[in-house]
Amino acid sequence: MLNIVRASMGTILSLLGGAVAFLLVGCKSMPALEQQEQLVQAENLVLDHITSRAVVNAWGGPPFYHSEFGYFFVMPDLSVIPRTRVAAGEVPKGWRGGVHAGEGVYFAYPDRGWLLVFLDERLVYREKLQPDDIRALTNAWAYEARFKTSVGEVSRP
């Protein structure tokens, strides 16, 4: 009987320890909005520490905006790379098999040379691009938008 109680207590304690570790890792602190804006102004675009609101407040609305449900490669350091930023049929170097799916929000700032991607309002990907590369990307977004259907939209009389 005593062994059963010890085993149960050990299981409970290990579960509680795992839960505490999960909460500590999962609860990354987000800097205050003013601090985020300062990071953006300095082009210190720290992943998971900047919101889309801070970028808009600091740089203004993006000249090009795109939103789509997509897949993201999860890298060993827990950063993510949008599937759309990897050549078709390829995977990023060092990728180990983790994938995340979600609504990605893309901001393109050609004058600054930045492509920013947000998931759940947090900056998860940034890429410095030449203006021509950003123009090609935004042209592809415009081309895709021409063929989207309005199945999910509510019809109005």
Q: Are residues 47 and 4 in the same domain?
A: no
Non-local CB neighbours of 142 within 8 Å, separated by 6+ positions: none
Structural domain harbouring 7: 1-30
Q: Both 53 and 102 in a single domain?
A: yes
Q: What tokens does 140 get?
A: 């592809």
Do 6 and 66 fall into the same domain? no
pTM for the predicted model, two decimal places: 0.74
pLDDT digit string, tens, across residues 26-53: 455 789 999 999 999 999 999 999 999 9
Mark whether 25 and 83 lie in a shared domain: no
33-41 and 52-59 helices, crossing angle to 10°? 60
Pick the residue with more confidence: 76 or 20? 76
Domain check: are 72 and 128 in the same one? yes
Res 145: pLDDT: 80
